[in-house]
A = this chain, B = another copy of it.
Amino acid sequence: MKHTYAVIMAGGGGTRLWPISRKKHPKHILPLLGENTLFQSTLARLDGLVSAERILVVTTADQAEQLKAQAPHIPAGNFLLEPQPRGTASVVGLAAAVLAQRDPQAVMLVLPSDHFIRNRDLFHLVMRVAVQVACKGFLVTLGIKPTFPSTGYGYIQQGNSLEDKFDYPVYRVLRFTEKPDEAKARQMLAGGDHSWNSGMFVWRADRILAEISRLLPDLAAALEKIVAAWGAPEQEAVFGSAWLNLQTVTIDYGVMERAGNVAVLPAGGLEWSDVGSWDSLFDVLLADDGGNVVVNSEFIPLETHDTLVYSSKKKLIVTIGVDDLIVIDSGDALLVCHRDQAQQVRQAIEILKKKKKESYL
């Protein structure tokens, strides 16, 4: 694994974890589940897989100081600051260009900073296999075996197994499908040949740069200029102006859906969540016999089942005669939400925006 690097994408927001996650305190920066922030847990998950000096963090200027403070073991020069957010394709391209310059044989693990994975051993196994597959020239996506017909994830359809034998099943990718409606989701779940798109990828830096050259030539041209000026006095100016003119595009849409030689590892048992909404977090937390989960609170559940209670500060929460609830207290705001409707938090945020309630955003 001597040419293996990790690229942590840490620029996002995450409005569906409101009221805990806010514009100025996005979820990966928060100690959402215990002492560590999701960002810190993402780094800790790499212990034994990638050393600190080989971890790049791509983020924005307004988050950089907080992230550096949370990860003092990562060299400051490994933090790449986007002048403006321009989508995951640009993030991946920038990191690939910087890494290819540093190590022409670099293999990149591309990892969101805000996912939850309980089974770290399996994560390591899957990543080691993914690196082996990537070394053969594949663009590797980490799939998640679906457990219900989610309409919140993209799906990946697998084709034949790769000819080479690996320590974990690997398939060629037939097709990416964006977030489906429920009928379509049921159909894909029933087929048994679809995974959720986790947003985690592994590839050689030179391979992804070649695909970017082919599929996103404007980005490739910008990256060429940026790399030429990298480390020189004009670096910031060149970076800033090149970035300003980029279109915002995701790596999935911009590259993966149209690239050749894409492989998927359909991982089951990772106990993974993208922590995209309260219900997805709820799904992976350990519940008591009544199906209840408590985070950070003193909890007295009476005739209560399948309910998550969460408070940002220690608080006593008593629930009586309720089922399937999500109760989130941030101090200044309180969310009480049916478990099946956690996606609707976005609607509440739209209302707050319209009412110009900045302090709650």
- Say yes or no for A302: interface residue by CB 8 A criterion: yes
- The reply to whether B357 and A316 form a contact with Cβ atoms under 8 Å apart is yes
Chain B residues, CB < 8 A from A345: 318, 320
Interface segment among A5-13, A45-53, A145-153, A329-337: the answer is A329-337
> Chain A 321-361, CB within 8 Å of chain B: the 1/0 string?
11001010100111111101110110110011000010010
- The reply to whether B341 and A303 form a contact with Cβ atoms under 8 Å apart is yes
Chain B residues, CB < 8 A from A351: 300
- The reply to whether B316 and A333 form a contact with Cβ atoms under 8 Å apart is yes
Chain B residues, CB < 8 A from A335: 318-320
- Say yes or no for A227: interface residue by CB 8 A criterion: no
Q: How many chain-A residues does the 8 Å CB contact rule pick out?
A: 35
Known contacts A320-B338, A337-B321, A338-B321; is-contact A347 B302 (Cβ 8 Å): yes
* Whole-angstrom CA separation of A357 from B318 in the bound complex: 13
How often does this chain occur in the complex, in copies?
Answer: 2
- The reply to whether A315 and B300 form a contact with Cβ atoms under 8 Å apart is no
Distance (whole angstroms) from the CB of A16 to the closest CB of chain B? 12
Chain B residues, CB < 8 A from A19: 316, 318
- The reply to whether B360 and A348 form a contact with Cβ atoms under 8 Å apart is no
Closest 10 CB pairs of A and B: A321-B338, A321-B341, A316-B333, A320-B337, A318-B348, A319-B336, A317-B334, A320-B344, A320-B341, A318-B335
What 5 additional pairs, Cβ within 8 angstroms, besides A320-B347, A322-B336? A19-B316, A302-B347, A315-B332, A321-B337, A321-B344
